[in-house]
């Protein structure tokens, strides 16, 4: 069943930028692992989702579609208004890269956790431990 423009608009307005389900799941996991953090520090470039101040490390929880991940969900092309969405996602990718550079210039290490990574919790836990425990970590892959 095709949705109307109004239904699609209502759906898109409901998409949150903070406290999303994947972000809440990541925060819960970090808390269970014993890590403590601050949320959405507005004084840092990109307003990172999770901030480990004393470690000078931040984590961004990225939705695969919204931030152009190369997984199956991120590679999905919308059927309606495809040019708009292509441009929007491209701008998001450019903004994310610029924020990562700015954070690195200010001495912050950055890790990106993709929504699809929440499917393999053991691998994610290993990556989180490596990132947060290593004093030399400069950024995530």
- pLDDT tens for 117-127 read 999 999 999 99
Structural domain contains residue 82 = yes
Structural domain contains residue 7 = no
Number of domains in the chain: 1
Structural domain contains residue 97 = yes
Structural domain contains residue 125 = yes
DSSP calls for 60-105: EEE-TTTTT-SSTTTT---SSSHHHHHHHHHHHHHHHHHHHHHHHH
Domain range for 25 is: 17-133
57: domain CATH number is 3.40.960.10
Q: How far apart are CA 58 and CA 20, in angstroms?
A: 17
The per-residue pLDDT for 13 is 66
Convert 77-111 to b/e letters by CB count within 10 Å (16 or more is b). eeeeeeeebeeebeebeeebeebbeebeeeebbbb
The per-residue pLDDT for 14 is 61
pTM here? Answer: 0.83
- pLDDT tens for 64-84 read 998 999 998 888 888 888 888
Write out residues in the chain with pLDDT < 70, as ranges.
Answer: 1-3, 8-9, 11-17, 136-141
CB 72 within 8 A of CB 114: no
The per-residue pLDDT for 139 is 43
Structural domain contains residue 129 = yes
Structural domain contains residue 5 = no
The per-residue pLDDT for 2 is 59
Structural domain contains residue 8 = no
Structural domain contains residue 26 = yes
The per-residue pLDDT for 75 is 83
């Amino acid at each position: 069943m095709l949705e109307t423009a109004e239904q699609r608009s209502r759906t898109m307005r409901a998409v949150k930028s903070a406290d999303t389900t994947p972000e809440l799941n990541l925060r819960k996991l970090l808390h269970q692992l014993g890590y403590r953090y601050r949320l959405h520090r507005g004084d840092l470039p990109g307003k990172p989702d999770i901030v480990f101040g004393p470690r000078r490390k931040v984590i961004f929880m990225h939705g695969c579609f919204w931030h152009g991940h190369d997984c199956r969900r991120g590679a999905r092309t919308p059927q309606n208004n495809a040019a708009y969405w292509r441009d929007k996602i491209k701008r998001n990718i450019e903004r994310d890269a610029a924020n990562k550079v700015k954070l690195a210039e200010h001495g912050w290490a950055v890790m990106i956790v993709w929504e699809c990574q929440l499917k393999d919790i053991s691998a994610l836990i290993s990556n989180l431990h490596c990132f947060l425990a290593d004093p030399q970590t400069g950024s995530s892959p």
